[in-house]
Structure 1
C-alpha cells in the first residue's frame, strides 16, 4: 500500500470515530467529516505522481460533487417545505386532527406509530421525531411508558422513511444511483408497516390506562393550507413525472419550491415580516454539511480503490444475508457512510436485493438508540431515554426488524 493510501484511509477512520464519539468530544460531526473529506481530496491533488493521474482525480472529484449536488438540492427543497409547515403549526394541527381527546394508552401507542410512519415518509426524520417527542411529553406518562412510546417512535420514523425518497437520505441515495425505482420503493411501505405494527403490539402489553390529550389548534391561514397542498402535490408529481417521463426528482422539487415562493409572495400578508425565503436558512445545514463531508470521504475511498472489503462480505454471504447483517451493522455505524460505501463498491445485486438493502440500512439503525438521527434526537428530548433503557427493548426491535426484512425478501421474489 502506498503511503498516501495509508494516510487517506487513516483520515477516513478518524472521521468515522469523530461521528461515533461526537457526544464525547463535543465536536459537531459535520465539522469533522467536512475537514477530513476536503483534506483527503487536497492530498490526492498535491501528491499526484503524474499529470494523467491528476486528471483522473479531477474526474473523480467532479463525479462526487455532481452526486452531492443532486442530493443537497433535493434535500434543501424538501426541508424548506417542512420547515415552513412546522413553523406555521400545520403539523401540530394534523396531530390534533387525527388524535381523539380521550384514548387508551395501547390505542394511542398504535396511533402514534402510524402517524410517525406516515409523516416521516413525507418529512425528514428529525422533524418527525421532534414533533412526536413533544406529543409524548405532553401526556405526562411515567418514565417507563415514555420510553416505550419513544422506542416505537424511533423505529416507526425510520421505517416510514424507507419507502419514499423524501423520507430517508439512504433511500434517496440508492434511488439516485439507479438501483431501485420509485414505484418499487412504494411497495416497501407494506412490510415496513407490518414491522411497526408488530413492535406496537409487543410494546403495548400492560398499557390499558386512559390518557387525555389537550388539543391546542393553531390559526390556519389560506396560504398555509395552499402550501401544504402544494407540498403533497409536489411529492405526487415527482413520483409520476419520474415514472412517466424520467424527470429527475431534484428538478421537480426545485420547481415546487419556486411555486411555493411565488405563492407566498402573492397570497401572504406578512411577506415583509416573515419572508418565506428565510425558511431556507432554518433547515438543518449541520446535516447537509455532514452528508457533504461523508460523501467526499467515500468518494476518496473509491478513488484509491479501498472499498474492496465491502464487496468481500457479499462474496462470503449471499446478498439476502449480507444485507440483513448490514442493517444490524448500521446501528453501530452511521447508515449514510455505510450506504455510500456500498454503492461505490460496485456490488452486483438484483433489484429485489437492492430493495432489501434499502430497508435494512434505513431501519437497522433503530436497533440501538445511537444508531440513527431519530434516536439521538429522542435522547436529547426524553429525560428517561438512555442507551440502557432503550436496550431493554432490543429483542422486540430485532424481532420487528426481522419480520419487516422477511416481508421485503418476499417482495423481492415477486420482482424477479
Structure 2
C-alpha cells in the first residue's frame, strides 16, 4: 500500500470514527461525511495517474472528472430514490393513507406490538424495499408509541427486520437486485434457500429485544394538524393510498419492463401522485384551504421543503468517500486478501464481507465481489451457489450490525435521531447473534436439505 493510499484510508477511518462519536463531538454526521468525501478525493488528486489506467499528462483532469461523475451518477440514483420514497410515504401518511395499517398494528401490549412490527416490516421489505419500508414503519410508530426510549427499541427492530426481509427477496435490497440482474442468483433460488435464515436473523433479535419491553403502551395524542378527514373525501384519500403504495410496489415491475434504474420508477410514481393531489386540492374551496392551512401544508411542494437534507447530504458524503476507496483499489484488495487468508472458505469470506458491509456501503463491496470472482459452471461459485447466495444474505443482513451499515439504518437514524453510540451499545451484539444464527441455519440447509 502506497503512502498516498494509506493517507486516503486514514482520512476515511478518522472521519468514520468522528461519525461514530457524534453524540460526544456534537458535530452533525453529515458535515463529517462531506469533509471525508472532499478530503479523500483531494488526496486522490495528488497522484491520480497511479490509480487510473492511461491517465497521463493533459488527459488526467478529464479522466478524473469521468471517474467522479460516474460515481456521482451512481450515488445520485440512491439520493433521488430516497427523496422520492420519503416524499411519497410522507404524502400518503399526511393524508391518512396508513391509518388502516396503524389500526392493524395497534395493541395495548408492548411485546405484542414488537412482534407485529417485526412481522409487518419483514413482509413489506420483501415486497417494497428495506428503505421505503423503514420510512413507512417509522411514520406508523410515531402514531403508536409515545415514549422515546421504547420507540428507539422498536426503530432498531425495524432496521433489523427490514434488512432481513430484503435479503431473501430479489427486489428487497439493492445488493440482491444487483446479484439478480447479474444472473448469479435466481429469484426462486434465493427465496427458497435464504428465506429461513432471514427469518431466523429477525426472530432471534426480536425475542431478545422483547425481553426489555414490559407493560402496556401509553396513549398517543393525535397530531393537531391531522385533520385530513375534513379536507379530502374518503375516496380521494383511498386514491392517494393506492397510488402511493401501489406505485412503490410497481417500481420493481417498471424496472424489469423498461430496464431503467429504480429511481426513475420512483420519480414516475411521484410525478403521477403529485399531479393527482394537485387536482384534488385545486378543487377545494379556497377559503377552506386558507382557514385550516391544511390544503397547502399537505401538498407535495410543502413536503419537499421538509425533506431531511442532513440525511441526504450524509448519504452523498459517505457514498462518495467509499467510491474513492473503491477507485484506489482498497476494496478489491481487501476481498482478494480475504479469499487468500481463509483458503477459499466461502462461509468465512462472505461472513467477513457481511461484517464489513456494516462499516462501509454494501453496494461497492458486492460490486467488487461480482467483478472479482468469476461465475463457474458448478460448485460454490455457480449460479445459486453457496458463495452468491450467502453474499446476498450477508451483505443485506450484515448491515444491521451498525446503524450506518444500511440505507434503512441511515434513514431511521435521521428520522428518529438515534445516535451511533446508542445503537452500537444496545443493538449491535443482538443483530450479530441473529446474523450468525442465520449463517448457521443456511449451513444446516445445505448439509441436509439442498
TM range (shorter): 0.7 to 0.9
Give 1:96's aligned residue.
Answer: 102
Alpha-carbon distance between aligned partners in 2 of 1:246 and 1:370, rounded to the nearest angstrom: 29
Matching residue within 370, 376, 397 for 1:363: 397
Tell which deviates more after alignment, 129-138 or 287-296: 129-138
Give 2:75's aligned residue.
Answer: 68
Alpha-carbon distance between aligned partners in 1 of 2:171 and 2:85, rounded to the nearest angstrom: 7
- The answer to whether the 8 Å contact 1:74/1:253 transfers is yes
When residues 230 and 246 of structure 1 are mapped into structure 2, their CA distance, relative to the original with a 3 A threshold, is: same
Secondary structure of 1:69's match?
helix
- The answer to whether the 8 Å contact 1:79/1:124 transfers is yes
1:256 Cα deviation from its structure 2 partner: 0.9
1:90 Cα deviation from its structure 2 partner: 3.3
Give 1:127's aligned residue.
Answer: 135
When residues 74 and 375 of structure 1 are mapped into structure 2, their CA distance, relative to the original with a 3 A threshold, is: closer
Alpha-carbon distance between aligned partners in 1 of 2:184 and 2:23, rounded to the nearest angstrom: 34
1:235 Cα deviation from its structure 2 partner: 2.7
1:375 Cα deviation from its structure 2 partner: 7.8
- The answer to whether the 8 Å contact 2:77/2:263 transfers is yes
1:96-153, CA deviations, whole angstroms, 9 ceiling, x for partnerless residues?
3213555x55544321321333455645466356446546744x79x8x888766644
Give 1:324's aligned residue.
Answer: 351
Give 2:120's aligned residue.
Answer: 115
Matching residue within 240, 246, 249 for 1:236: 249
Matching residue within 161, 164, 179 for 1:159: 164
Alpha-carbon distance between aligned partners in 1 of 2:352 and 2:93, rounded to the nearest angstrom: 36
Matching residue within 297, 308, 313 for 1:289: 313
Alpha-carbon distance between aligned partners in 2 of 1:276 and 1:375, rounded to the nearest angstrom: 21
- The answer to whether the 8 Å contact 2:37/2:320 transfers is yes
1:177-256 maps to which residues of 2 (within 5 A)? 191-201=197-207, 219-220=228-229, 221=232, 222-256=235-269
1:64 Cα deviation from its structure 2 partner: 0.8
Alpha-carbon distance between aligned partners in 2 of 1:389 and 1:159, rounded to the nearest angstrom: 19
Alpha-carbon distance between aligned partners in 2 of 1:400 and 1:330, rounded to the nearest angstrom: 15
Give 2:64's aligned residue.
Answer: 57
1:95 Cα deviation from its structure 2 partner: 4.1
When residues 59 and 363 of structure 1 are mapped into structure 2, their CA distance, relative to the original with a 3 A threshold, is: same
1:198 Cα deviation from its structure 2 partner: 4.3
Alpha-carbon distance between aligned partners in 1 of 2:97 and 2:215, rounded to the nearest angstrom: 29
Alpha-carbon distance between aligned partners in 2 of 1:301 and 1:147, rounded to the nearest angstrom: 32
Secondary structure of 1:90's match?
coil
- The answer to whether the 8 Å contact 1:116/1:153 transfers is yes
Matched residue pairs, number?
401
1:208 Cα deviation from its structure 2 partner: 9.1
1:355-384, CA deviations, whole angstroms, 9 ceiling, x for partnerless residues?
4334323333444678644785798579xx
Tell which deviates more after alignment, 147-156 or 48-57: 147-156
Secondary structure of 1:60's match?
helix
1:58 Cα deviation from its structure 2 partner: 2.5
Alpha-carbon distance between aligned partners in 2 of 1:39 and 1:206, rounded to the nearest angstrom: 42
Give 2:94's aligned residue.
Answer: 87
When residues 409 and 22 of structure 1 are mapped into structure 2, their CA distance, relative to the original with a 3 A threshold, is: farther
When residues 228 and 373 of structure 1 are mapped into structure 2, their CA distance, relative to the original with a 3 A threshold, is: same
For structure 2, list consecutive stretches of 5 or more residues without a partner in the other structure. Answer: 49-55, 290-294, 375-380
Aligned-residue Cα RMSD (Å) equals 4.3
- The answer to whether the 8 Å contact 2:138/2:412 transfers is no
1:330 Cα deviation from its structure 2 partner: 4.6
When residues 212 and 67 of structure 1 are mapped into structure 2, their CA distance, relative to the original with a 3 A threshold, is: closer
1:264-275 maps to which residues of 2 (within 5 A)? 264-268=277-281, 269=284, 270=289, 272-275=296-299
Give 1:313's aligned residue.
Answer: 338
Secondary structure of 2:275's match?
helix
Secondary structure of 2:12's match?
helix
Tell which deviates more after alignment, 314-323 or 167-176: 167-176
When residues 124 and 179 of structure 1 are mapped into structure 2, their CA distance, relative to the original with a 3 A threshold, is: farther
Alpha-carbon distance between aligned partners in 2 of 1:9 and 1:77, rounded to the nearest angstrom: 33
1:81 Cα deviation from its structure 2 partner: 0.7
